[in-house]
Amino acid sequence: MNYEALFKSHERRVVRVGLVSAGDFGTSLLAQVQCISNLETVVVCDTNLAQIDAAIASAGVD
């Protein structure tokens, strides 16, 4: 999915998202969010805390 194109119409404001599940799709989203200036992930939740940590590390998020 092209998130940059999806959120381009909102370029004058920050779109904040919450991510439910830190699997493959969630990890991909976390990585792409860093490249889109007006998209911000504010929370990630999953029943597996180790999976959250792995997704954040894999996406290169601080």
Q: What is the per-residue pLDDT for 39?
A: 82
Going by the DSSP 8-state scheme, the letter that residue 10 receives in this structure is G
Domain spans in the chain, listed from the N-terminal domain onward: 3-59
Q: What percent of the chain has pLDDT over 90?
A: 34
Closest Cα partner for 4 from 41, 34, 43, 42? 34
pTM > 0.75 = no
Tokens 């889109």, residue located: 36
Does the pLDDT of residue 43 top 70, yes or no?
Answer: yes
Which residues fall within 8 angstroms of residue 19, CB to CB, at 6 or more apart?
26, 29, 30, 41, 43, 44, 45
Q: Please name the amino acid found at residue 12.
A: R
